[in-house]
């Protein structure tokens, strides 16, 4: 039995040409946990995501996934290990239908086209896009494209999913649906880290919140604790 | 190899390298500002050469005198190309962008062949001709003047980009298009300007070499490849990098041709490209 | 699903009909020069379909495919001329050499994105042309002549045009079959994903380098087969005829004109391009006039600006446009795309 936490980040730092985006960030994510990642604009949330998913090589520190060091691994290696992600600015495969988009994700675990198609049907159903399966991804609304990215990421059978602002620009009903979707992902045993500005979407469902400011972690606790944390309040008021 | 020959070789390399730098500067400027590689860049140079040739053949205007006219003409060509074709493909898929400038390359070559025949033409007896001898080292006066002109134009461009409002705006667009737009810089205007200046640089290079280089419709094909090597070596979008890399490429070409054989000199320069890609993909001065 | 199966079977019927037509066409076209014209079209189509695998599906535009074409032509010809090895084996050997070469050149060149990758491929082809032109072993600029004394299906040398016609038709069918198999497998999905959004593809576990190399080497293999056919048909090759940049340009043009990323677009492209080429030759005399270049350059620019999906895309756009205007024509479900969000 593997007793290591799902994800352990230790002293992570990332600088671009001397500009520090992340500094000395440490935290742990447990299996199946829902963790919100918040912070003012430019706090380094997306950079952290990019480091975790293998898109950036950290300048310092260590990232361990299920006890294995994955610092500086490639995105494809991270995906194979079980880290999936969505993008802040949606990156669906424009020339493909919704179903085909999800099939590409499913092919990570099963290269057979027919089986990938079946898997894609399940994930489309899970995010509520079955009726749009044959629609070209470029014709979907932004909110549908965001859900499509979630379905595509889930099709890779991840253990951890990184959701980058999936609720941005949604109306209140859609935000509620998105929260429920995250909760249902949790029920499948998949951990999620959610970058979000929409507090009413993330606060009710998160088990824990991480707060970044100027590239450093300033708080780590339950949503209730975070809401009363003076450092967090100062960071948001100072924005 | 004696020291005299080595110096002779190095001087020739330096002279041609400065021309390469001028061609590459225009290419790298356009790429820096809008992330589009102009496959027709060599054809701008070809048009510059023909402009000099016809000015000389029809109106007896010497190539050196015709240079300002060549620059203006090619600036106009660059802007027209931008307004008619490039502007429409700014947001198009990358494939379309490649095909558009690539098609332009074939179109300009085809037009040159149609109107001016595929013959090789030469400008003879221009004002600037003959050789200069500096001790044991000899080189052609036209080559020397062309190199001098290349330095002058590249220098003027550098000053324009760093010392004038318009130039700084262009440079800012090259560094960060979105930030520049937020600062109120008109992107469309900058793009057109980049094409105008880029084409004018290539045209000037063509005008400068027209006195000692054969003029024919496909003359651009060699220069575009070498300019490409220069841009990669210098770091994409870097004017200073392109200038230094142009000199390096000129030296390597002449030295390699001398040591291995002149028939291989283009192959040597192009192989340099693959080596740079393997060892230092971001080029000499490029950032990671 | 049913609509998918229907279009699939309709496509299959169309393909079989097209193939049957191609098989009996020489019965109607008996004039050798006209048969030669048909052969040129099939050769162009074969190149275009092969190029399309890397340039169309995977979106990695190569403008140096002559290097593979030349490797194919020179490998099979050298094996035949110096060792007497049958071109059947020689062509496969040429394909393998070309595929290996593709792996070697793809490794550094795929570090470049988009425009610059295209440039680098031109450079590689240019280097190769210079090396071959100066190689004594390969007879340099003089070129290689195939032996006239052997003929028949063993040596793949014929006096008549007809055997060449069926040979290239067979090769085209093989090339289309490979492209079709790729299109339908996970590899085809990965190629399209890489073309659309490389970063997103990586996030889903797709190794860009691996799949780009697969695309380039398969395309190189098939292009080399086309090169071997060229040598057998012309019975003479030199660097200028198989390694030249103009060959690379033609290969890419055919696919671009017809429609990149579609199975049969390049076939349409070949029909258009070869016809223009031959007619401008007869109308304006020598090829030196540049008219063929002007015509197809104008066509590429138009295609690039107005219809990135080529003539085939233009036709389907047109059909959709007409379909929408007719009563009962399907309205596209784009309406909800217009909804404004706060």
Which of C114, C115, C131 is facing B267, going by the closest CB pair? C131
Per-residue pLDDT at A91 exceeds 60: yes
How far apart (Å, rounded) are the C-alpha atoms in residues B127 and C115?
A: 41
How far apart (Å, rounded) are the C-alpha atoms in residues C190 and C169?
A: 29
Residue C136 lies in a domain: yes
Per-residue pLDDT at C332 exceeds 60: no
Chain A nearest CA to C15, separation (Å): 23
pLDDT top residue among C11 and C307: C11
pLDDT at C167: 95
- For residue A130, the enclosing domain spans 32-54+74-237
Whether chain C has a CB inside 8 Å of the CB on A3: the answer is no
Q: What is the mean pLDDT of residues A227-233?
A: 85
The count of CB pairs under 8 A between chains B and C is 142
Whether chain C has a CB inside 8 Å of the CB on A39: the answer is no
**C-alpha dihedral over C225, C229, C232, C233, to 10 degrees?**
-170
Residue A226 lies in a domain: yes
Residue C92 lies in a domain: yes
pLDDT at C285: 63
Q: What is the mean pLDDT of residues C200-227?
A: 96
How far apart (Å, rounded) are the C-alpha atoms in residues C109 and A210?
A: 42
Q: Are A25 and A12 in contact (CB under 8 A)?
A: yes
What is the value of ipTM here, to two decimals? 0.92
Residue A11 phi/psi, 5° resolution?
60, 35
Least confident of A123-132, B97-106, C148-157, C195-204: C148-157
**Which residues in chain C have Cβ-Cβ distances shorter than 8 Å to A96?**
189, 192-193, 196
State the best of B40, B106, B119 to mutate against chain C, taking most chain C CBs within 10 Å.
B106
Closest residue in A to C261 (Cα–Cα): A95
Confidence at C328, pLDDT banded by 50, 70, 90? very low
Residue B84 lies in a domain: yes
Confidence at C6, pLDDT banded by 50, 70, 90? low
pLDDT top residue among A217 and B186: A217
Closest residue in B to C106 (Cα–Cα): B274
pLDDT at B73: 96
- For residue C225, the enclosing domain spans 31-245
pLDDT at B1: 56
Percent of chain C topping pLDDT 70: 89
Using the structure block, give the residue that is written with the tokens 């300019």: B227
Domains of chain A: total: 1
Residue A127 lies in a domain: yes
Q: How many residues does chain B have?
A: 288
Q: Are C249 and B221 in contact (CB under 8 A)?
A: no
Whether chain C has a CB inside 8 Å of the CB on A52: the answer is no
CA nearest to A76, candidates C320, B34, C191, C201: C201
Chain C nearest CA to B136, separation (Å): 32
Q: What is the mean pLDDT of residues C223-231?
A: 97
Q: What is the mean pLDDT of residues B40-58?
A: 94
Paired with A28 in beta bridges are A8
* Interchain contact, C256 vs B99, CB within 8 Å: yes
Confidence at A196, pLDDT banded by 50, 70, 90? confident
Residue B125 lies in a domain: no
How far apart (Å, rounded) are the C-alpha atoms in residues B177 and C51?
A: 34
The model's pTM is 0.87
Q: What is the mean pLDDT of residues B114-139?
A: 81
Least confident of A56-70, B7-21, C276-290: C276-290
Chain C nearest CA to A97, separation (Å): 11
How far apart (Å, rounded) are the C-alpha atoms in residues C297 and B107?
A: 5
How far apart (Å, rounded) are the C-alpha atoms in residues A85 and B83?
A: 40
- The highest-confidence range among A16-25, B196-205, B254-263, by mean pLDDT, is B196-205
Q: Can you state the angle between helices B63-84 and B187-209, rounded to 10 degrees? A: 150
Q: What is the mean pLDDT of residues B32-59?
A: 91
Instruction: Count the Cβ atoms, other than its own, within 10 Å of residue A131.
Output: 9
E strand or H helix at B223, and its extent? Answer: helix B220-234
Please give the mean pLDDT across all residues of chain B: 87
Q: What is the pLDDT of residues B227-276, one digit of tens each?
A: 989 988 888 777 888 899 999 999 999 998 888 888 888 889 888 888 88
E strand or H helix at B65, and its extent? Answer: helix B63-84
pLDDT at A238: 61
Closest residue in A to C335 (Cα–Cα): A139
Domains of chain B: total: 1
Q: Are B225 and B37 in contact (CB under 8 A)?
A: no
Whether chain C has a CB inside 8 Å of the CB on B106: the answer is yes
Residue C150 lies in a domain: yes
Per-residue pLDDT at B286 exceeds 70: no
Chain C nearest CA to A96, separation (Å): 8
CATH number at residue A226: 3.40.50.300
Closest residue in A to C190 (Cα–Cα): A104
How far apart (Å, rounded) are the C-alpha atoms in residues B90 and B72?
A: 25
* Interchain contact, B274 vs C133, CB within 8 Å: no
pLDDT at A79: 96
pLDDT at B240: 86
Q: What is the mean pLDDT of residues C255-263?
A: 83
Residue B122 lies in a domain: no
Q: What is the mean pLDDT of residues A39-56?
A: 90
Cβ neighbours of residue C65 closer than 8 Å, sequence gap 6 or more: C47, C50, C51, C121, C125, C219, C220, C223, C247, C248, C251, C252
- For residue B87, the enclosing domain spans 16-115+140-279
Give ∠ CA C52-C58-C59 in degrees, rounded to 5. 80
* DSSP 8-state symbol, A97: B
Closest residue in C to A132 (Cα–Cα): C333
Chain B nearest CA to C236, separation (Å): 24
Subunit partners of chain B (3 or more CB pairs within 8 A): C
Q: What is the mean pLDDT of residues C260-287?
A: 81
How far apart (Å, rounded) are the C-alpha atoms in residues C228 and C224?
A: 6
Residue B288 lies in a domain: no
Percent of chain C topping pLDDT 90: 47
Q: What is the pLDDT of residues C50-106, one digit of tens each?
A: 999 999 999 999 999 999 999 999 999 999 999 989 999 999 999 999 999 999 999
Confidence at C309, pLDDT banded by 50, 70, 90? low
Which of C105, C260, C294 is facing B110, going by the closest CB pair? C294
Closest residue in B to C288 (Cα–Cα): B118
Percent of chain B topping pLDDT 90: 40
Chain A nearest CA to C93, separation (Å): 30
Residue A62 lies in a domain: no
Q: Read off the tokens for B142.
A: 């036209």
């Amino acid at each position: 039995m593997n007793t290591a936490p799902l994800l352990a980040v230790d002293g992570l730092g990332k600088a671009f040409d001397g500009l520090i985006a992340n500094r000395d960030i440490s935290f742990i994510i447990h299996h199946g946990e829902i963790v919100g990642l918040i912070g003012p604009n430019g706090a380094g949330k997306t950079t952290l995501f990019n480091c975790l998913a293998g898109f950036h090589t950290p300048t310092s520190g260590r990232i361990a996934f299920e006890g294995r060091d994955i610092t500086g691994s490639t995105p494809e290696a991270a995906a194979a290990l079980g880290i999936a992600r969505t993008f802040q600015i949606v990156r669906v495969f424009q020339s493909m239908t919704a179903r085909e988009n999800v099939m590409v994700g499913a092919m990570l675990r099963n290269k057979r086209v027919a089986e990938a198609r079946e898997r894609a049907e399940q994930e489309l159903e899970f995010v509520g896009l079955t009726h749009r399966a044959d629609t070209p991804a470029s014709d979907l609304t932004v909110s549908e494209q965001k859900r499509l990215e979630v379905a595509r990421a889930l099709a890779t059978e991840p253990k951890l999913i990184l959701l980058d602002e999936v609720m941005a620009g949604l109306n209140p009903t859609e935000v509620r649906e998105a929260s429920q979707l995250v909760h249902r992902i949790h029920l499948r045993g998949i951990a999620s880290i959610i970058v979000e500005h929409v507090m009413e979407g993330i606060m009710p469902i998160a088990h824990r919140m991480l707060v970044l400011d100027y590239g450093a972690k300033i708080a780590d606790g339950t949503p209730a604790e975070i809401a009363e944390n003076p450092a967090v309040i100062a960071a948001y008021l100072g924005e | 190899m004696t020291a005299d020959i080595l110096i002779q070789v190095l001087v020739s390399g330096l002279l041609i390298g400065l021309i390469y730098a001028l061609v590459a500067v225009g290419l790298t400027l356009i790429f820096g500002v809008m992330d589009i590689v102009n496959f027709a860049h060599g054809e701008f140079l070809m048009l510059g050469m023909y402009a000099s040739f016809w000015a000389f053949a029809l109106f007896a205007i010497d190539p050196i005198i015709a240079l300002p006219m060549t620059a203006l003409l090619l600036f106009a060509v660059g802007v027209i190309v931008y307004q008619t074709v490039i502007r429409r493909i700014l947001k198009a898929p990358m494939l379309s962008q490649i095909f558009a400038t690539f098609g332009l390359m074939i179109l300009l070559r085809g037009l040159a062949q149609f109107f001016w025949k595929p013959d090789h033409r030469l400008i003879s007896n221009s004002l600037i001709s003959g050789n200069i001898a500096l001790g044991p080292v000899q080189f052609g006066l036209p080559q020397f003047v062309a190199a001098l002109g290349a330095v002058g134009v590249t220098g003027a461009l550098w000053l324009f980009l760093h010392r004038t409002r318009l130039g700084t705006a262009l440079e800012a667009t090259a560094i960060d298009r979105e930030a520049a737009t937020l600062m109120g810089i008109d992107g469309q205007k900058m793009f057109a300007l980049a094409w105008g200046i880029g084409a004018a640089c290539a045209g000037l290079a063509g005008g400068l070499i027209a006195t000692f280089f054969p003029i024919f419709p496909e003359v651009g094909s060699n220069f575009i490849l070498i300019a490409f090597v220069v841009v990669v070596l210098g770091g994409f979008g870097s004017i200073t990098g392109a200038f230094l890399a142009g000199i390096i490429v000129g030296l390597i070409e002449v030295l390699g041709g001398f040591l291995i054989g002149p028939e291989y000199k283009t192959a040597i320069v192009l192989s340099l490209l693959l080596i740079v890609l393997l060892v230092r993909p971001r080029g000499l001065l490029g950032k990671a | 699903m049913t609509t998918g199966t229907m279009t699939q079977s309709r496509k299959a019927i169309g393909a079989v009909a097209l193939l049957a037509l191609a098989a009996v066409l020489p019965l109607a076209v008996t004039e050798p020069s006209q048969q030669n014209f048909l052969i040129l079209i099939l050769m162009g189509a074969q190149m275009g379909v092969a190029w399309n695998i890397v340039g169309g599906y995977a979106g990695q535009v190569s403008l140096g495919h002559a290097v593979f074409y030349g490797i194919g032509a020179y490998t099979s010809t050298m094996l035949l001329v110096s060792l007497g090895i049958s071109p059947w084996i020689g062509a496969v050997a040429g394909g393998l050499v070309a595929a290996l070469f593709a792996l070697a050149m793809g490794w550094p060149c795929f570090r470049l994105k988009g425009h610059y990758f295209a440039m680098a491929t031109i450079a590689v082809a240019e280097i190769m042309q210079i090396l071959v032109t100066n190689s004594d072993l390969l007879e340099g600029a003089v070129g290689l002549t195939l032996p006239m004394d052997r003929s028949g299906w063993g040596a793949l040398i014929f006096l008549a045009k007809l055997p060449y016609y069926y040979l290239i038709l067979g090769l085209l069918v093989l090339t289309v079959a490979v492209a079709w198999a790729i299109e339908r497998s996970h590899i085809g999905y990965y190629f399209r994903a890489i073309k659309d959004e490389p970063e997103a593809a990586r996030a889903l576990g797709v190794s860009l380098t691996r799949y780009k190399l697969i695309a380039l080497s398969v395309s190189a293999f098939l292009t080399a087969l086309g090169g071997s056919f060229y040598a057998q048909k012309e019975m003479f090759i030199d660097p200028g005829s198989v390694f030249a940049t103009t060959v690379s340009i033609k290969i890419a043009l055919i696919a671009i004109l017809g429609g990149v990323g579609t199975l049969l677009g390049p076939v349409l492209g070949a029909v258009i391009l070869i016809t223009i080429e031959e007619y401008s030759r007869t109308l304006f005399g020598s090829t030196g006039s540049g008219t063929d270049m002007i015509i197809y350059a104008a066509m590429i620019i138009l295609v690039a600006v107005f219809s990135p999906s080529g003539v085939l895309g233009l036709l389907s756009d047109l059909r959709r446009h007409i379909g929408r205007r007719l009563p009962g024509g399907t309205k596209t479900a784009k309406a909800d795309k217009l909804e404004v969000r706060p």
